[in-house]
Amino acid sequence: MAALLRVDTTPRDFVPAPITDDEAAAMFRAALNLFRLWDLTDDQAAILLDLPVRTYRRWKAGDLGRIDRDGKARLSNLMGIHKALRLIFREPQRGYAWIKAPNAAFASRSALDVMLAGELTDLMRVRRYLDAERGSW
C-alpha cells in the first residue's frame, strides 16, 4: 500500500504579477481602439490616462513613452470596463453607447462623466459597478 504524502494547504497571500511594459503597450493600443469606439476626444482620452494632451497625441502617433504604475492600473481598469460591457451587452454598440448614457447608479451622470473626474478611483468605481452588475467570477 502506498503512503499518503502530506500536502501543504496553508493559504498564501495573493501577489499579482506586475504588468510588463509589453503588456502595457498592448493595452495602450487596445485603449486607442476603445476610445475611438467610445467616440472620445483626445482631451477626454488624455484625462482618462492622466496624461498631458500633447503626450497622449505623441503616444497615439506611435512614439509611446514609459507607462508608469498608475498608467498601467488605468489601462487595466479600462480593459476591465470594456470586458464587462462586452459580457453584459450582446451587441457591442450598446456597450459603447452605455458609456455616455445617463445612469441612475451615478446620480444620472454617465460612466464617462464619472471617469472624467480624472482619478484612478473614478475608473475603479465604474469597473466595480460593472463587475457587480455582471456578477464577478
pLDDT the model gives residue 6: 86
pLDDT tens, position by position, 10-54: 888 877 788 999 999 999 999 999 999 999 999 999 999 999 999
Location of C-alpha cell 464577478: 136
> In the chain, pLDDT over 70 holds for what percent of residues?
98
Higher pLDDT among residues 10 and 64, named by residue: 64
What is this structure's pTM? 0.86
The DSSP string of 32-79 is: HHHHHHTT--HHHHHHHHT--HHHHHHHHTT------HHHHHHHHHHH
